[in-house]
């Protein structure tokens, strides 16, 4: 028996006013032919040496027992079902309707009724696949008011985008798995995609960085990492750079610019489409340290107003580039000879 609270009140057991304890007791019972152990809550009267179950405790103890059964059978608990529904900001009735179930089904599953395995699988699908749920909501568009539909739709779309960003991060990280053990190539740093997003936004938000298109951004990323390595012995972002014809380019660069938090405009040129990176107004620089900002400010003061041709030429003069064969990875030991100090 574990005491969790004491309070002076009228004891419903002995009908005297005294200190009544609220306690947790481990219980064992048989439910659907399965023996389950769970923690039940009671009030305890020391004078009568008896447990009293208040009305609200009866409900909570019943749910605790059925959740113990759920866990034993590999089913979602009532709390997990509630968490899934709240993730989507949807009411019990509306969620049941979207899933094609009876209006009270979700209400029951969040309480006393244990779901079957078929419905449990659907709830797990809902939890892991926002896009699938979005399709279900769209299919029930005519059955929902426009205001409610827009509210749910926006919340789900946000989750779909977050999930896509997580998949993107996993894909980028996978490309760095074999490279991460090579300290020379990763600059003694672990890949930090949040830091990459922060560096891109720091450049994009600076008034002293002009014409921030993709080619220039790739070089500015390398200069930030190389200069940080030169000053502190390790890179800033953990990116690995390849020597390509126009200079240093990070591995998975096409995916990096798609990360959530990085904003750009597509600009049409005669030779094709260009990506101009712009400030994300919701971004803050809290993730960047004072030393990192100082390095970025130095890079901006030197290269911020370079044109595409100027920064490519600048890169072509760096020993890190001249001493690396085209197509190979650039080692950070070359940062010692960096033109920026």
Provide the CATH number for the domain around residue 115.
1.10.260
107 in the same domain as 254: no
Q: Is position 97 within any domain?
A: yes
Band of residue 243 on the pLDDT scale cut at 50, 70, 90? very high
Of 246, 225, 254, 249, nearest in space to 329 by CA = 249
pLDDT at 55: 81
Return the ∠ at Cα 121 (arms to 116 and 123), rounded to 5°. 95
CA distance 3 to 12: 18
Residue 310 pLDDT more than 80? yes
pLDDT at 245: 94
Which of 134-138, 161-165, 211-215, 270-274 is least confident?
270-274
Residue 21 pLDDT more than 80? yes
Could you read off the pLDDT of 45-88 as tens digits, one per residue?
A: 777 788 878 788 999 999 999 999 999 999 999 999 999 999 99
192 in the same domain as 303: yes
CA distance 151 to 146: 9
Look at the alpha carbons of 38, 42, 45, 50 in this order and tell me if their dihedral is positive or negative.
Answer: negative
Q: Is position 145 within any domain?
A: yes
User: Domain range spanning residue 48?
Assistant: 2-73
Percent of the chain with pLDDT over 70: 100
Q: Is position 170 within any domain?
A: no
83 in the same domain as 69: no
Asked whether the beta carbons of 236 and 199 are under 8 A apart, the reply is yes
106 in the same domain as 57: no
* Integer angstrom CA distances of residue 112 from 53, 83, 92, 252: 17, 16, 15, 50
Of 73, 92, 120, the position where a domain reaches its end is: 73
Regarding pTM above 0.85, the answer is no
292 in the same domain as 256: yes
Q: Is position 285 within any domain?
A: yes
Return the ∠ at Cα 143 (arms to 133 and 109), rounded to 5°. 55
321 in the same domain as 222: yes
Of 102, 126, 159, the position where a domain reaches its end is: 159
Give Dmax (Cα) for the chain: 91
Of 282, 288, 122, nearest in space to 198 by CA = 288
């Amino acid at each position: 028996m574990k005491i969790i609270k004491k309070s002076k009140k009228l004891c419903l057991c002995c009908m005297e006013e005294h200190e009544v304890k609220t306690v947790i007791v481990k219980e064992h019972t048989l439910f659907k032919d399965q023996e389950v152990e769970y923690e039940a809550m009671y009030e305890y009267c020391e004078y009568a040496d008896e447990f009293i179950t208040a009305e609200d405790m009866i409900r909570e103890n019943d749910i605790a027992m059925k959740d113990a059964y759920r866990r034993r059978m590999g089913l979602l608990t009532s709390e997990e079902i509630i968490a899934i529904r709240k993730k989507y900001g949807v009411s019990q009735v509306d969620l049941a309707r979207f899933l094609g179930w009876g209006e009270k089904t979700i209400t029951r599953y969040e309480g006393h009724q244990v779901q079957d395995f078929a419905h449990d699988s659907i709830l797990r699908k809902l939890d892991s696949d926002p896009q699938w749920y979005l399709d279900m909501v769209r299919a029930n568009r005519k059955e929902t008011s426009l205001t409610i539909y827009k509210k749910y739709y926006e919340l789900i779309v946000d989750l779909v985008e977050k999930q896509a960003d997580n998949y993107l991060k996993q894909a980028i990280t996978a490309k760095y798995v074999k490279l991460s053990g090579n300290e020379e190539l990763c600059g003694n740093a672990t890949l930090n995609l949040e830091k990459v997003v922060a560096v891109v936004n720091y450049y994009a938000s600076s008034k002293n960085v002009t014409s921030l298109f993709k080619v220039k951004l790739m070089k500015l990323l390398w200069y930030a990492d190389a200069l940080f390595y030169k000053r502190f012995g390790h890179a800033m972002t953990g990116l690995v750079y390849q020597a390509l014809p126009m200079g240093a380019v990070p591995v998975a660069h096409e995916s990096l610019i798609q990360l959530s938090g990085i904003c750009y405009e597509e600009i049409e040129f005669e030779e094709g489409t260009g990506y101009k990176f712009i400030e994300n107004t919701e971004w803050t620089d809290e993730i960047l340290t004072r030393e990192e900002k100082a390095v970025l400010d130095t890079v901006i003061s030197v290269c911020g107003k370079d044109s595409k041709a100027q920064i490519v030429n600048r890169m072509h003069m760096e020993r890190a580039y001249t001493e690396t064969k085209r197509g190979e990875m650039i080692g950070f030991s070359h940062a010692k000879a960096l033109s920026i100090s």
